[in-house]
Chain A
């Protein structure tokens, strides 16, 4: 197919006047400005508007809140990243808790796909922060907290540090230097899975998680 490549590029290169207009700087898109003190509130309002649940913890430790939320939902098998940043906190939080077992995502998907699809009640992940303007959680899934954690189980708990909530996506990309170091997969998650494909009426929990529970820590 390299012939196709050459022919397509040759046709495009032939076009007169399509050369780069040197030195043209596009107008900058208007940026929303949200003061740091209002970011958590805006983040929360946007997420709640699409039926995500947001809990703001007064402390840096998400454990007490998470333990309560997990117990309220009667979650028996909770998936977590054994090498993820939350691992020590989670192991301590659920040690000796009756009824909830922490399941580590510690093997490649092929070896336990069925259990992941049909045997896990919920997953808990960390995040790289959030975006106030749109109520989005930023995730860069990796070896420690793989991609399917935030997608396959019916409930997704995610921990967001209040200090890492940026005003806009543009700001988050700049501060986190996305362009220089894109991971295999980067994600913005803004609510539980939904669809409006039938009669333009929103229904939640179509293919992804039915519940998104966001825990904002101080």
Chain B
């Protein structure tokens, strides 16, 4: 077999990390149970999913005009709206805002879009400190790692690893091993940072076109601190986070928190509709909203792939994915892991480079079953597999680049055999009679599996014998 790909090497590494795998699997099984308990009434869940899907479909159907409405509403509220086609553009916009403020430090709430932008690296390159304040993000930033899950970024680490990490990074602070103690340590360190930060950055869970509102969902309070304590708040998010009306928020919120962590609601739901008004005594003096495209408008062009833009980033698909649960997020080597990552990332980066991810799926369907907005994830994974080998081009970059002559030939023969009953019967006769000639090993496939051997008599023959009719 050809030499291992990068993905293959990461998978091997992940499978060999027993402790990390145990941490991830334990957390994922816990999240599966919590989600199940949060939706006790199956019928209610299904109608809630119908509503969630319809809201996002409606918003996407009118995306360009709603984006303009959002921009106008934000302007009216005093929020400055910026548009970025690429992550480089988005980083430049954030940098320009920070420079304009003379800001030397940025405190960040959790934002996957900022991970997509690799914002921290871009800012540090320019001499601006970017500090993560979400506990999980803070931990992995200290460890120099990326998030392994979009909701629980440090889920691969145990309390003992976190304690050792804090001990190494903050040797002057008392060493704690318990989780409450570790939280207290993080609180103390980050309090000072919240107090001193020049600017704050957040993502957005939802944007409301009608009112020009940024909706942020969180438990720790760090998101509120980032968006309230510093003089400037910058929100970075994808253009697909938009909904039409404020009335769309309650059902989506319910779906988001229950699907993600089984909570009926998060501790804080923060609706931001503008900077500090004249008489107000706190809140940022400037609020900026950066709308990032980065391939989203290309996904929008394809009626099938557009469904991936409905995602509300709850993480339920990865929590329930048998592949993700066994590998963890780092093996994917992408910003978004799991089923949704398998659909988004090859579209963002190209099937030539990341098409292999689509093969790391059994198409078991769990992701599609739990998705709160009914994204047909298995269908999309299959569609991208097809795009990766099609010869007539496709909307996604790198389409057709995973096609190999041998595989194509095998499938052509397979199709030919199954198209003609006569050829099929001949093939069946040969396969059963010459079954001893069937190969015992096929490189790659039989490394970890037993090859099936053809039976002495075909199912057709057995059925006929028992009186079943062919027709």
Contact = CB atoms under 8 A, between A and B. Distances in A.
Chain A interface, >50% SS class:
loop
B210 A133 contact: no
B82 A20 contact: no
A106 B281 CA distance: 8
A213 B346 CA distance: 48
Given A12-B297, A184-B275, A188-B268, A207 B58 contact: no
B246 interface: yes
Interface stretch (B3-11, B178-186, B351-359): B178-186
A173 interface: yes
B442 to A, nearest CB: 41
Nearest to A31: B250
A195 B183 contact: yes
Interface stretch (A62-70, A88-96, A139-147, A157-165): A139-147
A141 to B, nearest CB: 8
Contacts of A107: 281
B111 to A, nearest CB: 15
B126 interface: no
Interface in A9-52: 9, 11-15, 17-21, 24, 26-30, 46, 50
Interface of A: 1-2, 4-5, 7-9, 11-15, 17-21, 24, 26-30, 46, 50, 105-109, 113-114, 117, 133-136, 142-143, 146-148, 151-152, 168-170, 173-174, 178-179, 182-201, 203-209
A148 B27 contact: no
Given A20-B65, A109-B281, A188-B269, 4 more contacts: A20-B58, A21-B58, A107-B281, A207-B222
Given A143-B279, A197-B154, A206-B187, A8 B239 contact: yes
Contact of A13 (B64, B180, B213, B254): B64
A36 B435 CA distance: 74
A173 B250 contact: yes
A208 B224 CA distance: 8
Contacts of B133: 207
Contacts of A24: 54, 58
A129 to B, nearest CB: 15
Nearest to A199: B159
A100 B165 CA distance: 40
A169 to B, nearest CB: 4
Q: What are the nearest 8 A-B pairs in CB distance? A: A208-B221, A26-B54, A197-B136, A29-B251, A29-B51, A207-B221, A134-B265, A5-B83
Interface stretch (B190-198, B327-335, B418-426, B454-462): B190-198
B58 A8 contact: no
A17 B146 CA distance: 38
B309 to A, nearest CB: 11
Given A28-B51, A199-B23, A15 B280 contact: no
B31 interface: yes
Interface in B179-226: 179-180, 182-184, 186-187, 190-191, 194-195, 210-213, 219-222, 224-225
B158 interface: yes
B281 to A, nearest CB: 4
Contacts of B152: 196-197, 200
B439 interface: no
Residue in A114, A185, A198, A204 with the greatest tally of chain B CB atoms within 10 Å = A198
Contacts of B210: 179
B250 A189 contact: no
A189 B293 CA distance: 32
Given A178-B246, A199-B23, A193 B267 contact: yes
Contacts of A208: 220-221, 224-225, 267-268
Nearest to B183: A203
B388 interface: no
Given A117-B195, A179-B247, A199-B158, A151 B221 contact: yes
B271 interface: yes
15 contacts: A12-B297, A18-B306, A24-B58, A26-B57, A105-B281, A134-B265, A136-B265, A151-B228, A187-B271, A190-B265, A195-B136, A199-B23, A199-B179, A203-B179, A207-B194
Contact of B269 (A26, A28, A178, A187): A187
A204 B72 CA distance: 39
Nearest to A113: B195
Contacts of B254: 29
A169 B253 contact: yes
A19 to B, nearest CB: 7
B196 to A, nearest CB: 9
Interface in B118-162: 133-136, 139, 152-155, 157-159, 162
A206 B223 CA distance: 12
B44 to A, nearest CB: 5
A203 B224 contact: no
B276 interface: yes
B106 to A, nearest CB: 16
A18 B182 CA distance: 49
A206 B220 contact: yes
B191 A117 contact: yes
B48 A19 contact: no
A50 B198 CA distance: 33
B48 A29 contact: yes
A101 B274 CA distance: 33
B297 A11 contact: yes
